[in-house]
Amino acid sequence: MQLTRRQMVRLTGAAAGATLLPVAARADAVKIKIGHTLAPESEYQKWCQRFGEALTKNTNGRYVLEIYNTSQLGGEIQMIQAVRAGTQEMLITSQPALEATVKSLEVFSTPFLFDSIDQGNRVMAGKVGQTFNDIIARDAGMISLGWGSVQERNIFTTSKPVRTLADMQGLKLRIIQSPGYVEAYRALGANPTPMAYNQLYLALKEKVVDGADTSPDQFFMDKFSELSKYYHLTHVHYLPAGMYVGKTFWDTLDTNTKDAFVNAGKVATPYNHQVYAADYKAGLAKMQTAGIEVIRPDLRDWKIATKDVHQKFEDAVPNGKQLYTMVLEARG
């Protein structure tokens, strides 16, 4: 059986064991497992590290975080199930992976919902983020400890540059497995191909797909730069991601310990925003030195082509119209 690149990384990481934070823990410390799907140098990893440092400090060494990166504990959907069941305490997951459990989150798969990363972060830090935290707690049994930076999703291609909307016609793009993502790229004229993230590198290498969408930092961390010549600032989606603790575990904690977790989240979340902003900027700079052509298409036609996409799933989402309107109003 041929392993994907992501599977090889996962096995290597698993052999080395979890990343145990170098903090002063007590001998009887409780070890908390947190998993995510990104690389050891990613913003998710640094988010976990900062949270773990604060948690151990807040609890006087009583709780220590064990970080499992690169899907060592499974993909996002598998980890969501484990956290809900109580066999894993925490995870970081992106919004699309939660849509099967919390359908209301499909609102965030609306194309061009935000104008920028800063705008998305501001919206998620306010009433919108709290409203969805409450929905996630109710529908998924997971308690939010912070919304990380929204991740800007831009398309990259292996051989064909996309300079105008016409260049999107028939382009086979790997897309996140979300109705909003599929409908958005269908409206843009592409051939959207939902696929698990850990299958993407091999699919690109074997030319099963012509490209995909990702953030500038992940473009290099997951080695897509080895296969792709063009990166396009298309800004189609801004993907929220959250850090969660399962309610099954949460309900075993006393009030003071819960406060320690919440306060650790308040320390780690703004740090994540800073890290992502720096990694984003560094990723774009690295493209220039790596010979990757960065293309900035005129997006006016793109926005016109996708302006009605939200209506295709709005009625199917619980309180979809109200939630969509709330996000629009919060953008200002």
CB-count burial class (<10 Å; 0-12, 13-18, 19+) for 262: middle
Secondary structure in 3-state letters for the chain: CCCCHHHHHHHHHHHHCCEECCCCCCCCCEEEEEECCCCCCCHHHHHHHHHHHHHHHHCCCCEEEEEECCCCCCCHHHHHHHHHHCCCCEEEEEHHHHCCCCHHHHHHHCCCCCCCHHHHHHHHCCHHHHHHHHHHHHHHCEEEEEECCCEEEEEEECCCCCCCHHHHCCCEEEECCCHHHHHHHHHCCCEEEECCHHHHHHHHHCCCCCEEEECHHHHHHCCHHHCCCEEECCCCEEECEEEEEEHHHHCCCCHHHHHHHHHHHHHHHHHHHHHHHHHHHHHHHHHHHHCCEEECCCCHHHHHHCCCHHHHHHCCCCCHHHHHHHHHHHHC
Q: Taking the CA atoms of the chain, what radius of gyration do you get in angstroms?
A: 20
Average pLDDT value for residue range 4-13? 44
Average pLDDT of the residues of the chain: 92
Q: Is the Cβ–Cβ distance between 177 and 96 less than 8 Å?
A: yes
pLDDT value for 2: 43
Instruction: Write the single-letter amino acid at 10.
Output: R
pLDDT value for 314: 82
Give the C-alpha separation, 21 to 53, whole Å: 7
CA distances from 162 to 170, 174, 256, 312 (A): 12, 15, 53, 26
φ, ψ for residue 131, nearest 5 deg: -60, -45
pLDDT value for 24: 64
Give the C-alpha separation, 71 to 40, whole Å: 11
Q: Is the pLDDT of residue 172 over 90?
A: yes
Task: Write out pLDDT tens, residues 109-123.
Answer: 999 999 999 999 999
pLDDT value for 282: 97
Task: Write out pLDDT tens, residues 192-204.
Answer: 999 888 899 999 9
152 falls in which pLDDT band (50, 70, 90)?
A: very high
Task: Write out pLDDT tens, residues 71-125.
Answer: 999 999 999 999 999 999 999 999 999 999 999 999 999 999 999 999 999 999 9
Average pLDDT value for residue range 299-317? 92
The model carries a pTM of 0.90
pLDDT value for 313: 78
pLDDT value for 18: 56
Task: Write out pLDDT tens, residues 132-143.
Answer: 999 999 999 999
pLDDT value for 276: 98
Task: Write out pLDDT tens, residues 187-244.
Answer: 999 999 998 888 999 999 999 999 999 999 999 999 999 999 999 999 999 999 999 9
Higher pLDDT, 10 or 79: 79
Give residues with Cβ within 8 angstroms of 110, minimum separation 6.
180, 184, 309, 310, 324
Q: Is the pLDDT of residue 9 over 50?
A: no
Give the C-alpha separation, 80 to 89, whole Å: 10
14 falls in which pLDDT band (50, 70, 90)?
A: very low
Task: Write out pLDDT tens, residues 49-69.
Answer: 999 999 999 999 999 999 999
Q: Is the pLDDT of residue 10 over 70?
A: no
Give the C-alpha separation, 201 to 203, whole Å: 5
Tokens of 303: 């926005």
Q: Is the pLDDT of residue 168 over 90?
A: yes
Q: Is the pLDDT of residue 19 over 80?
A: no
Q: Is the pLDDT of residue 16 over 60?
A: no
CA distances from 190 to 83, 186, 198, 252 (A): 35, 5, 22, 48
Question: Domains in the chain and their CATH numbers?
Answer: 5-148+240-283 (3.40.190.170), 152-237+292-310 (3.40.190.10)
Average pLDDT value for residue range 156-165? 96
